[in-house]
Structures are given as structure tokens and as C-alpha cells.
Chain A
Amino acid sequence: MALLTVDELSVTFTARGRRDVTAVSGVSFDVPQGEVVGLVGESGCGKSVTSLALMGLLPRRGVRLGGRADFDGTDLLTLSPSRMRDLRGRQLAMIFQDPLSSLNPVVPIGVQVTEILARHRGMKGERARKEAASLLDRVGIPDPDRRLKEYPHQLSGGMRQRALIAMAVACAPRLLIADEPTTALDVTIQAQILELLRELVDQEGTALLMITHDLGVVAGLCDRVNVLYAGKVVEAAERRPLFSDPAHPYAHGLLGSIPRLDAPRGLPLHPIRGSINDTIAWADGCAFAPRCDHYTLECLEGTPALAEPAGLGQPGHLVRCVNPVLDSSDLHTPLLEAPVPVASAEGDTAAPSSGAPAGTPSDTTPDTGTTPATATDGEPGDAPGKDTPA
């Protein structure tokens, strides 16, 4: 029995006088103890909304939740706000994308760490300070006693993220949700932070839900991966089968779009054409169909089911597609061999903040050009552009 079982989670934003926006429509996955589960997708596919919904951090008004999120026997989605507050920080904790803005700029680090200890573990004064110092030490911040007195702007980016992780693990939570924890960091720091997270998982048996758009992070860290597209899981598999045999055309396209360093000069990149706005409602068929190379008329006959495709033969490898890609021998996937994650596959480090809404018009403008995950620093993605079929 997994620690967290998310069953058909859906999140719909409602505003009077406006069309409802369904950011997450029926996402299911498990997070077992001591494992790292990845939730991968491009901007606007509903990853962050999923994490906020699980943490109970979405506003109560204007949001309609559906499904269940079973955390050790309690449904996180229906828990009262006060019980949820007791759970947060103690049983569940979250690490955010931008370490600088996630720390209060006018409060010393020490105060911010000890307030968690005071809140959940009743620690005060010198005892709390000592514990805070040992926490910072544990996440690899040198000279913790001095750092406790410093303000966030005096710490480097990597150290800030370490401090945030220290705050998140202060009460040894059983589930840690990390929402793109390395996006704002450079590649070397990113590797260190991922290593630290892996260590915590291995030593403490914490379950980690890793939310990212970065396939490098997934390859280096996750045990099991869920690929999200337009608010639904389109492929779920163990890490290795996903990278070697991506069966959903979207996952296949994502991996195929990673540029090869050893490719001969002048070889074109392989973006996924169109953008996330070229979509249709899941109720009418596969949302990815307008961008898909394998699309047939069957794709428009209602929502495809998430199932094990016949030709793959991998138990637990689920794909939501009527025409899955069964032969991935054309793919070159260097990510698996690389022990250290490579640079972001998406390249949009300046992506909107964690609360980026899915499918709202606002999200579209900056992204329209680049097909996410084709990336390579942005420009070439939009070349094939808007010629969508259908």
C-alpha cells in the first residue's frame, strides 16, 4: 500500500462570468514510501496545481476539487483547514521553485527554521536554535551557526535551496513534494541538490513527489515517472522503460527532441510541433492529437484509456494512447547513462512561478513559440509551428 494514493484528482477553477478551466482532469498515481515519483510535463500541464491541491494550498473559493488523495488513510482533499495545517510541515512538506522568493527577505534564516520547530515540535530558545543548526548542517550548509543569523540575500542560491530543504525536513515529514526545486539553480548546484534529496529519501525513507519539466532530473532521480499532458497522465512507467521505450507519442517526442551533443553539424532538431494550446478537450478525444504524428481518426473517439499496450510487454507501463509507439529504436537517450542530470530539457528557467495556471490564456503568450521540451534554448522550436491537422 503506497503512502500516498491519488485517485482521479481533478482541479477546476471557476470564476463567475467566466468559463471554468479544468487544470487537472483525473490524475491518478501512487507514491510509495522511500521512493521518488516524478510528475513530468511542460508548463501549464497541471503539475504545480496538482501539488498545491495535495497540500491544500489552493484557495477554497473558486476551486472545485474532485477525486481522492489518500495519505495513509486520510483524504487530503476533504480534510478541514485546521487539520491540514497540522499535517503540513509535520507529515507533508513542500519545496518550491524559487528559493529566494520563498524565503522571507526581512527575517533571518534562523528564525524561519526555528518557527517550524516551534510550531510542530514545541521547541523553543536554545534547544530550537541548536536543532536548527544541526538541520542546516545536515543539508550541507557550512558554518550553520553563522548562517542562522544571516538574511536570505546573504546566502547563495544553492544554499538558500538547502535552507528551504532543511525547513521542509525539519519535522521528518513522510511525504515531501518538490515543485521544480532546481529550476532556479545552475547545473552544478542542481546536481548537488538532487543528490541531497536522494540521500534524504534513501536514509529516512521519505516519499518524494518530484515535479519537474526537466527530463534530466527525472533520469537522475526518479524511480517511477508520470508524464502529464493537458491535465491527464498520458504515460506512467518505471524510469528505465520510460526512457528506453516511451510509448506515448508525446513522451516519445519529448525524448526525441533532446538535442544530441554528438550529432553531426547542421542536423535539424526534432521539436514537437505546435504548442500546448493546440489542444482539444479530453472528452472529445486525445488532447495531444492535434500535435501528434501518429494520429488517426480513432484518436477522436472519446478519451483514450490509460492501459498497458499490447506490444510492450512491460508490466506497470501504462499508456493513454490508441496508437502507441512500439518501436523506439530511433531514439537516442543519453540521459539514462549520465549519472549527473544534464541541463534542463526545457530551457525556460524564467518560467512563470509555481502557480502557473494550466491552459489559461495568460500562460500562452510567452510560450507559444517554443514547444516546451524541445527547447534547446528556445528559438528553433516554433519553426513547424501552427500547421495543425484536424
Chain B
Amino acid sequence: MGSPVSNTPNHPDDREGPETPGTPELSGPPAVPHQAEAPSPVGGDRARRASRKVDRIDRLAELTARRETTTGAGLWVEAFRRLRTSKMAIIGACIIAVFVVLAIIGPWIAPYSPTAQSWRGEVFPNRGLFVGPRGENWLGLDHLGRDVFSRLLVGARQTLLVGVVATLIGFTVGALIGGVSGAALVLGGRVGQRIDAVIMRFIDMMLALPSLLLAVSIAAVMGQSLTTVMIAVGVVQIPIFARLLRGAMLAQGGSDYVLAARALGVRRRRIVMAHVVPNSLSPVIVQATLALATAIIEAAALSFLGLGNPDAAQPEWGVMLAQAQRFFDQAPMLAVYPAVGIIITALGFTLLGEAMREALDPKLRS
């Protein structure tokens, strides 16, 4: 940020103090300032949480920057090899695969219509009469006599759609902002630093807001719709991606090959586009996987709060959860099914994302 490290990305004088003997020889200057400079004057809980968030993002950016250049294989090849041997990655990938397949073919394999209240006469919520799992309806009926299993299957698609679109929004806009900021920094000059500082302060402000609160506010302002949910969840992701890409670009900007390219007169724009950006994408991709998990949970939360699809008949896990909540003491299982769906899906993305992060971490490489 505005700290001395970023001022002069390749200043040989930047390293101060004795080098810790244990750290691997870095080819560039220290990557990203470790401590978040988010001011926390009185140590308010929110400030601390925000700075922890910032810290985590910066750490990921830094991790992938210090790739070990002595191993022969390329970063991704090596990472993939490690991913295949990681149980965490395999489990995560399996969960995601099942979820994606179900989300795509769900409407076709669902045994009944998810919206038709075919068994309306058998359920009497106000008398506490519900129908549990049975041969005809594997997971029973909901309070309006609809088949829960079919609703779950069809609802998976909504959940996936919201998650993916929201993450795409966050990724695209965030990477754009972070890319501009990082490019401004790498290209150097006082102007670049100013641009970067302005953008990053704005991003820090967004990061300081609790994400769900931000999403709820956006959804409330824009009105109730599925698009709103996607945008709201996406906006929450923007600062994370922006800060991550910028941090990675900053770290790459001080690398040897950038110096070598400069030494051969390669134009600055080309250095950024052809050299810095492609090398900075790996932490962003890892984050995208992790962000999908958060997006799914947040989308469900927004639906749960009634800010999602106004057509409540359309199945969506968050909506199902919200509806089941009213009858939780009579039919708790109705809430458990969508909740388990959300948890397992989010877990799948988190597992894969964390495994990728570990695989890309050179310190763990053998």
C-alpha cells in the first residue's frame, strides 16, 4: 500500500534487518506488507475482523508469489500433482462434481414437479400433521404438500447459478479494479502510486463492512429479485479479488524476470500484460474456488431473509430453509435437508480451494 515497500518495488535497500536464515531465498523484494494497515484505533471488533480478512488475503497473494524456482516442474504442473494425492482435494472435487451434475440434470430426474402441491390434502401444518419420508416421497412432503426431494434437486440449480454468477461478478470486477491498481503500482511513478492508494482505500472501506450486512443493504436497495441476490453477493466479493490480484501483481512486479524484461527494453504495458498478470492469477483462481462456497452460503442467507426470488414457489435452498423454519418444532427434518445441502456444497468448494492453496504453497512442497 502506501508503505515504503511498494514505493520502490525493486529497491535493493528495502530489506532491512538481518535476514532470517530459515526463509527460502527470495528472488524479489518482500512481497506484500504483512500487517494490514487498516487502522484499528480502539481495537474495535469490526476493525479487527476486517484486518484479519485483509491479512488473509495478503497472505494468499504472497504465498503463491514465492514460488520455488529450483524445482524443475512448473507451478501448476507441480500443484496438480500434489492435488491428486491430496484426500482433501479429492473429496472436495467429488462433492462438487456430484453437486454440479445434479444441478444440471436435476429438473429432468426429479420424480415430481417441484411446484405442484400434489399432496395438498395430506398435510395439515396448523394441526401439526406432516408427512415424513415414504416410498412415494423419499424425503417426505413440505407444508404445502410438495415433494421435498424434487424441490431439493431442482433447487440445486438455483443455488449453483447464484453462486457461480455472483462469483463471476466479484471476480471480473474485482480483478479489473485490482489489475488497474496493481498495474498503476508496477508501472511506477508517483501518479501510479496515487491511483493505487485511492483505489485501495476504497477497497479497504468495502472490506471493513461485514459482508452479509453489505449484501443485505444492496439487496434491500435494489429490490427483491434473483438478479439482486447475484449482484449483492458478487459485490461483496469484489474487494477480496481486487486486493488479492493487486498484492500478487505487486509481488511479481519485483521479480527477476520483470527486471530482466526491463533490462531488454520491453515496454511497460507489455511487461504488465504479458508477464505480471499471467503470473499473478493463481491466487485469484484459488480464491475463486473458496469464494464459491461463501457465495452459496450468502445467497442462501439472502433468500432466507426473503430478499431472493420473489416467486416463493420456485425451489431454492435458502427459501426452503426459511419456509421450514416456521414449522421447525413439528417437522425439523424439513429444515435439515436444505441446510445439509448448503453445508455439504460449501464444504466441497472449501475443501478443494484449501487443497489448491496448500498445493500452491511452496513452503509445504517436498
B is a partner of A: yes
A residues near B (Cβ < 8 Å) are: 13, 15, 21, 23, 48-49, 52, 55, 57-63, 85-90, 93-94, 96, 98, 100-107, 111-112, 115-116, 119-120, 151, 153, 164, 167-168, 170, 350, 352-357, 360-362, 364-366
How many angstroms between the C-alpha atoms of A120 and B263 in the bound complex?
A: 13
A87-B260 in contact given A153-B72, A360-B13 (Cβ < 8 Å): no
Q: List the 6 closest pairs (A to B, CB-CB), nearest first.
A: A89-B265, A89-B264, A88-B265, A101-B256, A59-B8, A365-B18
A116-B264 in contact given A13-B13, A105-B67, A353-B256 (Cβ < 8 Å): yes
Does B118 have its Cβ within 8 Å of any Cβ on chain A? Answer: no
Query: Closest B-chain residue to A48, C-beta based?
Result: B12
Q: How far is the CB of A24 from chain B (nearest CB, A)?
A: 11
Query: Closest A-chain residue to B262, C-beta based?
Result: A57
| B75 / chain A contacts, CB cutoff of 8 Å | 105-106
The interface size bin for chain B is 35 or more
Query: Closest B-chain residue to A167, C-beta based?
Result: B264
Does B94 have its Cβ within 8 Å of any Cβ on chain A? Answer: no
Query: Could you list 29 A-B pairs, sorted by A, with CB under 8 Å?
Result: A13-B12, A15-B13, A21-B13, A23-B12, A52-B12, A55-B263, A59-B9, A62-B7, A89-B264, A93-B264, A96-B256, A98-B256, A100-B70, A101-B27, A101-B69, A104-B261, A105-B257, A106-B75, A106-B278, A115-B266, A115-B270, A119-B265, A353-B26, A355-B12, A357-B12, A360-B16, A364-B18, A365-B18, A366-B19
Q: How far is the CB of A15 from chain B (nearest CB, A)?
A: 7
Report whether over half of chain B's contact residues are helix, strand or loop; otherwise say mixed: loop
Which of B17, B28, B261 contacts A362, CB < 8 Å? B17
Which of A58, A89, A105 contacts B74, CB < 8 Å? A105
Total A-B pairs in contact (CB under 8 Å)? 145
| A356 / chain B contacts, CB cutoff of 8 Å | 12
| B18 / chain A contacts, CB cutoff of 8 Å | 361-362, 364-365
Which of B13, B69, B256, B263 contacts A93, CB < 8 Å? B263
How many angstroms between the C-alpha atoms of A153 and B13 in the bound complex?
A: 30
Query: Closest A-chain residue to B77, C-beta based?
Result: A153
A88-B263 in contact given A98-B69, A361-B16 (Cβ < 8 Å): yes
| A357 / chain B contacts, CB cutoff of 8 Å | 12-13, 15
| B266 / chain A contacts, CB cutoff of 8 Å | 89, 115-116, 119
- Additional pairs, 16, CB under 8 Å, beyond known A98-B27, A101-B257: A13-B11, A59-B9, A96-B260, A100-B69, A104-B261, A106-B74, A106-B75, A112-B261, A119-B265, A353-B28, A357-B13, A360-B16, A361-B17, A362-B17, A362-B19, A364-B18
Q: How far is the CB of A359 from chain B (nearest CB, A)?
A: 10
A61-B7 in contact given A13-B13, A103-B260, A107-B275 (Cβ < 8 Å): yes
A151-B267 in contact given A13-B11, A101-B255 (Cβ < 8 Å): no
A94-B263 in contact given A104-B257, A105-B75, A353-B27 (Cβ < 8 Å): yes
Which of B12, B26, B263 contacts A89, CB < 8 Å? B263
Does B4 have its Cβ within 8 Å of any Cβ on chain A? Answer: yes
Docked-complex contact B69 and A85, CB < 8 angstroms: no
How many angstroms between the C-alpha atoms of A94 and B268 in the bound complex?
A: 17
Q: How far is the CB of B93 from chain A (nearest CB, A)?
A: 24
Docked-complex contact B27 and A120, CB < 8 angstroms: no
Docked-complex contact A365 and B21, CB < 8 angstroms: yes
